[in-house]
Amino acid sequence: MLTGISALDSADWPRLIHAYGRATDTPGHLRALLDEDAKGRREAMEHLGSAIIHQGTVSPATAQVALVLAGFMDDARLDVGEVPVRAELTLFLTRVVQALPWATATVEELEALAQKATHVGERCSLVLALGEVGASPKRFLEDPEPSVRLCAALAPALASDEAATRVLLSALEQHAAHINDWFPEKPPQLPMQPRFTVVQRLLERLPVFEPLAEAAVAVARTTKKAWVDFEWGLLLTRAFPLGDGVVTTEAQRRFLAALVDTAPPVGPALRQPREALPAGGAPL
């Protein structure tokens, strides 16, 4: 199966159709991705997001474009220029996997790309893409890079995997202050602070607070008031599911003590955590 430039040159583009007609304009846009011209790259990405996949719908040209892009992912030119496009192309390929009927084969392609990727940011994006399409990136839990291990552990397919949950817990317990720094180039799948996603995924997987306690304390020691809706407010709700603010465990006491030191009293000046403790309920 031809990929990259070979797939680009061999395709009969006038016979392929995209959302707006014959795909005769598609080869030029694909070649522009390997050029450093910012305007050309922006127009090429717009073409992919409108003509090649239109509102989630594929066209006869989509599969051929995906083959071309799969071959491009080894090309260092994607990372240079004013508008690098590797991360956006990774996200586009994820959308292709979700939309095309031959998704199983494409998942294998994504996994192969992730294994070959030497750029850590690219490997993170590809591993996250595998998770988004329902694949299990379990082998990447052993990756030498902590950011890649973290991305693998976030996969919904590993929700019941103890090793994956342990990766997420350890990341917060030992590196809460630095997780966001692991991603100097944030993958498109993590548009906000990456550790917000880690907290939210752990809350989905662990129904009670005690296994989360050490991680919650580490988060509380390094959080900010403004992050109430994304991490510490959610942890506060889990720590006090009854909303009464009565401290009955050592885990609750340690978490509250750390939170008071870092994000002291929640009051009228700051919106209360949604569904958290009633005013005056917690010993803050």
Contact yes or no for 48/65 (Cβ under 8 A): yes
Q: Which amino acid is at 5?
A: I
Query: Would the pTM count as exceeding 0.95?
Result: no
Percent of the chain with pLDDT over 90: 54
CA separation (Å) from 206 to 117, 126, 179, 218, 277?
A: 32, 26, 20, 17, 20
Contact yes or no for 85/72 (Cβ under 8 A): no
Token reading at 44:
């090429």
Which residue has tokens 């008031």? 225
Contact yes or no for 135/111 (Cβ under 8 A): yes
Residue 171 has pLDDT above 90, yes or no: yes
Token reading at 217:
């304390």
Q: What is the pLDDT of residues 95-119, one digit of tens each?
A: 887 776 554 446 777 788 788 888 8
Contact yes or no for 220/258 (Cβ under 8 A): yes
Lowest mean pLDDT among 169-173, 191-195, 234-238: 191-195
Helix (H, G, I), strand (E, B) or coil at 192: coil
Residue 2 has pLDDT above 90, yes or no: no
Which letter does DSSP use for residue 41 in this model? H
Q: Across all residues in the chain, what is the average pLDDT? A: 86
Q: What is the pLDDT of residues 39-53, one digit of tens each?
A: 999 999 999 999 998
Rounded to 5 degrees, φ, ψ at 185 are: -115, 100
Binned at pLDDT 50, 70 and 90, residue 1 comes out as low
Cβ neighbors of 98 (< 8 A, separation 6 or more) are 132, 133
CA distance 30 to 135: 28
Contact yes or no for 68/23 (Cβ under 8 A): no
Which residue has tokens 């070979």? 6
In the chain, the largest separation of any two C-alpha atoms, in whole Å, equals 71
Binned at pLDDT 50, 70 and 90, residue 279 comes out as very low
Segment 241-248 long-range contacts (CB within 8 Å, at least 24 positions apart): 241/209, 243/276, 243/277, 243/278, 243/281, 244/277, 244/281, 245/277, 245/278, 245/280, 245/281, 245/282, 245/283, 247/283
CA 64 to mean position of chain CA atoms? 26
Q: What is the pLDDT of residues 206-237, one digit of tens each?
A: 999 999 999 999 999 999 989 999 999 999 99
